[in-house]
Amino acid sequence: MPGVRFKRWVLVVGIGIICLLLFFVLAFGRLILLFTDYIGKQAINLFNLSIAEYSPKLVIELILFFTGVIFLALGSRQLYNFLVDTFIPEHKGRIAHFLIKKSQLRVGSNIVVIGGGTGLNSILRGLKNYTNNITAIVSVADEGGSSRRLRTEFGILPPGDIRNCLVALSDAGPELGKLLDYRFKEGSGLKGHSFGNLFITALQRIEGRFDKALEEVSKILAIRGKVLPVTLKPIHLCAELENGKMIETEPEVEIHKTRYNSEIKKLFLKPKAEAFPAAVKAIKDADIIVLGPGSLYTSILPNLLVRGIVSAIKDSGAKKVYVCNVMTQPGETDNYSASDHIDKIVKYLGGNVLDYIVLNKALAPENIYEKYKKTGARRVKIDEDCMLERFNAWVIKEDLMTKQDLLRHDPDKLARTVLGLHK
């Protein structure tokens, strides 16, 4: 079957065997002929065959042919069963499909997704079904819950969003994902911590470096692709509001409109930080760079504030894509339309860098919207085309909504839409 990249190596082995056989024939041909002639005559005498009907050479040829076919078929079959039972027993009976799928994943598009939070997890779960060449570049400005405590107590980068991305890309099975996501509900020191956060923290203490810890946990979880922090430097997300108020923690930025009734004038990091070199390289080597979906001010934009990220995006020959959220985020993007989201992305990118803007055009049942309205969330309204033309990007409007009772992107629909842009 085409595309498996297996037959070429069978051919190489076959050529090697033929070359060795030719060597023996050329080097020891006369001895081999004398030996086979002797064996043939003995077989003829043993079975009382007429020499007029059967030559010693023909008898040997027939014996070798049928013995070779039988042994080759039997040995190949048993070796095949042994390898499948040992390494991939769950794929027994459909190994061809498995090999083709693996080959397609290996040569799939090189995708870099930049963001954080649940939006990033959603697109990663979809993309991993189509390509292994995925790099998630994750914000490390998180200061909520377990991540904040681990930052304070151990001085490490916040592991929460990174853990979620690792679970999303893992091939280790759903049970391990549940284990890493498990959050302790009691215990004076453990309460509120997820097992995955503690696991990453322990590996960081063992390895001495956060990036090395991520390499090890990626191997353990057998993830498809890579998960990289946007920077290795501890940072805090800060903002200057339109009313002059300065806020210096990520949780306050997340609810700035609710708490301070003011828009953000300027978003910045404290202290300033350089991008992780591996993240910069991934961006420059990408076929597609995806921003979002995810919290605008606390998941996506913090990555663009790290020195080296915006310049890498601009220098990359990749298609640049922004995936707009389905719903607004209470306290952060209240009443934002699609163009309001894009305006902020373009501002921090330093110009109209985007090639594509992906918007969800599907509507959910009104009863689901009503449930979200109670929390303050609203549907992100799609502006008139004339309002979107100023971004000089192709606007893609698709049905991207999940069929679950949740107002968020469907992982598979979103992945197929994004991958379809690489043509």
Residue 319 CA from chain centroid, whole number = 17
Alpha helices (H) in 107-173, listed in sequence order: 117-127, 145-154, 160-169
* Most confident by average pLDDT, 70-74, 90-94, 296-300: 296-300
118 touches 408 (CB < 8 A): yes
Indicate the pLDDT class of residue 52, thresholds 50, 70 and 90.
very low
Residue 15 and residue 156 share a domain: no
Residue 319 and residue 218 share a domain: yes
Distances (CA, A) of 268 to 3, 134, 246, 273, 346: 48, 28, 11, 10, 16
- Asked whether the predicted pLDDT for residue 4 surpasses 70, the reply is no
Q: Cα–Cα distance between 44 and 54 in angstroms, integer?
A: 8
DSSP state letter for 255: T
Do the domain assignments include residue 182? yes
Do the domain assignments include residue 392? yes
| Residue from 171, 286, 159, 162 nearest 219 by CA | 171
| pLDDT attached to residue 118 | 84
Q: Cα–Cα distance between 60 and 36 in angstroms, integer?
A: 6
Do the domain assignments include residue 295? yes
Which residues, listed in sequence order, are joined to residue 320 by a DSSP beta bridge? 289
- Asked whether the predicted pLDDT for residue 131 surpasses 50, the reply is yes
How confident is the model over 398-408, as a mean pLDDT? 88
3-state helix, strand, coil split of the chain in percent (to 5) is 50, 15, 35
- Asked whether the predicted pLDDT for residue 151 surpasses 50, the reply is yes
Do the domain assignments include residue 398? yes
Residue 158 and residue 198 share a domain: yes
Q: Cα–Cα distance between 238 and 298 in angstroms, integer?
A: 10
| pLDDT attached to residue 56 | 66
Residue 402 and residue 324 share a domain: yes
Indicate the pLDDT class of residue 50, thresholds 50, 70 and 90.
low
Residues 6+ apart with CB under 8 A from 138: 115, 116, 120, 161, 162, 165, 227, 228, 229, 230, 303
Do the domain assignments include residue 280? yes
Q: State yes or no: cis peptide before 277, omega within 30 of 0.
A: no
Residue 66: how many CB atoms within 10 A of its CB?
10
Q: How many domains does the chain have?
A: 2
Q: Cα–Cα distance between 92 and 55 in angstroms, integer?
A: 46
Residue 148 and residue 38 share a domain: no
User: pTM here?
Assistant: 0.80
Among 70, 104, 138, the domain boundary falls at 104
DSSP-derived pairing of the beta strands 134-138 and 111-115: parallel
Residue 401 and residue 315 share a domain: yes
Any idea which of 10-14, 108-112, 136-140 has the lowest mean pLDDT? 10-14
Residue 88 and residue 208 share a domain: no
Q: Cα–Cα distance between 203 and 305 in angstroms, integer?
A: 28
| pLDDT attached to residue 347 | 96
Residue type, 135: T
292-333 pLDDT, tens per residue? Answer: 899 999 999 999 999 999 999 999 999 999 999 999 999 999
How confident is the model over 23-35, as a mean pLDDT? 81
Residue 222's domain comprises 106-419
- Asked whether the predicted pLDDT for residue 395 surpasses 90, the reply is yes
Among 104, 138, 159, the domain boundary falls at 104
Indicate the pLDDT class of residue 413, thresholds 50, 70 and 90.
very high
Residues 6+ apart with CB under 8 A from 293: 115, 119, 120, 122, 123, 323, 324, 325, 326, 408, 409, 414
| pLDDT attached to residue 201 | 93
Do the domain assignments include residue 46? yes
Residue 184 and residue 99 share a domain: no
Do the domain assignments include residue 2? no
Residue 223 and residue 81 share a domain: no
How confident is the model over 66-92, as a mean pLDDT? 78
Do the domain assignments include residue 1? no
* 132: CATH: 3.40.50.10680
Residues 6+ apart with CB under 8 A from 217: 166, 199, 200, 203
Residue 389 and residue 314 share a domain: yes
Which single residue is written with the structure tokens 């979880």? Answer: 221
How confident is the model over 346-354, as a mean pLDDT? 96
134 touches 124 (CB < 8 A): yes
| pLDDT attached to residue 91 | 64
| pLDDT attached to residue 117 | 83
Residue 362 and residue 264 share a domain: yes
| pLDDT attached to residue 366 | 87
How confident is the model over 346-350, as a mean pLDDT? 96
Residue 117 and residue 75 share a domain: no
- Asked whether the predicted pLDDT for residue 51 surpasses 60, the reply is no
Indicate the pLDDT class of residue 161, thresholds 50, 70 and 90.
very high
Q: Over the Cα atoms of the chain, what is R_g?
A: 30
Among 83, 104, 125, the domain boundary falls at 104
